[in-house]
Structure 1
């Protein structure tokens, strides 16, 4: 029975992972469609679309899915016509800061749901559109250190305008100002023909973290899952530092 139970658990976990993956790709598609609608379907002349594609590729979204999303716009789809971006900030779990990026065609639905989620978890929302001082908006690029030597990569990214460069746990980690992200990534693309980035996006990075225990870490993870399951929510960031797994 233990073998069957283990298989059932694994199968359930895989199903959950597949559902999450599918949900993530749907959100990337929406972001790509909106960017292409606003700035045109050519990523070379549309920085927002180029960024959305880079982020999707870094999370292994198939090329066919990306092309399908762009083709909807080229084919005259009005799917993105009413979508707007919104940014929420809030605190919960004893002072943990959250930033929630949203993309919706129904602000009333989004606003009601966000308030419900934070109220349910004894949280408090801040001013819409504001970002807590404990977060910095940065370009973040990560890829395996097997791609090229540390010296080659460091010289390439710093010459292109990167802000910082590290080698951590087998990954090169590069941060940039948001305005320099595309320039640095293009320099990497041209120099090393990188196929698979672990991360390639403009994101929010906490400059101050709050350490939490395992119990609270699980609660925060469940809260983030709840937020990310909402169709109007694209991404969630927080400044909790989880305990290292034993």
Structure 2
């Protein structure tokens, strides 16, 4: 019983820790959206998308509003988006998206994580042949949604793929994939159907690297370390 309690406690802690990181990243996305096109979601499509994503992961309304208010202040931090590409140990390609107010700090940290793990930082664009940017939309798949019918209806929005994946709680999540250019079209189409979606631009691997389970553990440990960095927004790899 004690062991089961500790397991539940550890799982709850990890979930809260992950949620805190998620909220921090969303806060930065809100800040960048506001700086780019203003604090009103009615006229700022990027901000509107971030707010929808925040609501979908249960980010409190007052926290969303506070983030918008902070970003509207003329003295608020300005974040720049930077992408770092390189290789982790065992020949695995790795791409790191960041949002930072101090690029020197960020690049130094990213380089340090990679080199200490036996990897290396590469030049921008060096992994274009491995990663392709796609528009990804996720929503809970329940019995009230006919996915076969929905698939036909989404073709006009530029649908490339529709499939199911599991979240960390074992729930079925429907994933809609389109090209980078069809992000807006698909988002509007899904919204018109009353679906609460999380909409993101993500990197999809075009090729994968096969490695052993032992080597994979090294990569996952490195990714965990990188994702703990406050400047990091997302990490992608081509490990099979």
TM-score by length of 1: 0.85
Displacement of 1:190 in angstroms is 1.0
- Give SS of 1:35's match: helix
- Give SS of 1:148's match: coil
From 145, 149, 154, give the equivalent of 2:151. Answer: 154
Displacement of 1:165 in angstroms is 3.0
* Preserved contact between residue 100 and residue 237 of structure 1 (Cα < 8 Å): yes
Aligned to 2:169: none
Structure 1, gaps ≥5 residues long: 242-246
Q: How does 1:73-112 map to 2 (within 5 A)?
A: 73-74=71-72, 76=73, 78-81=75-78, 83-112=79-108
CA distance in structure 2 between the partners assigned to 1:216 and 1:60 by the alignment: 35
CA distance in structure 2 between the partners assigned to 1:101 and 1:135 by the alignment: 13
Aligned to 2:63: 65
Displacement of 1:24 in angstroms is 1.7
Aligned to 1:194: 195
CA distance in structure 2 between the partners assigned to 1:166 and 1:8 by the alignment: 35
Displacement of 1:61 in angstroms is 2.7
CA distance in structure 2 between the partners assigned to 1:129 and 1:42 by the alignment: 34
CA distance in structure 1 between the partners assigned to 2:42 and 2:77 by the alignment: 20
Displacement of 1:216 in angstroms is 2.5
Structure 2, gaps ≥5 residues long: 167-171
* Preserved contact between residue 36 and residue 73 of structure 1 (Cα < 8 Å): yes
Displacement of 1:171 in angstroms is 4.0
CA distance in structure 2 between the partners assigned to 1:92 and 1:131 by the alignment: 13
Aligned to 2:2: 4
* Preserved contact between residue 227 and residue 235 of structure 2 (Cα < 8 Å): yes
The alignment covers a number of residue pairs equal to 234
Aligned to 1:225: 224
Aligned to 1:21: 19
Q: 1:178-201 CA distances to partner (integer Å, 9 max, x unpaired)?
A: 22112212111112x123x3x421
Q: How does 1:35-50 map to 2 (within 5 A)?
A: 35-50=33-48
RMSD over aligned CA atoms reads 2.2
- Give SS of 1:205's match: strand
TM-score by length of 2: 0.86
CA distance in structure 2 between the partners assigned to 1:31 and 1:123 by the alignment: 29
CA distance in structure 2 between the partners assigned to 1:224 and 1:64 by the alignment: 31
Aligned to 2:233: 234
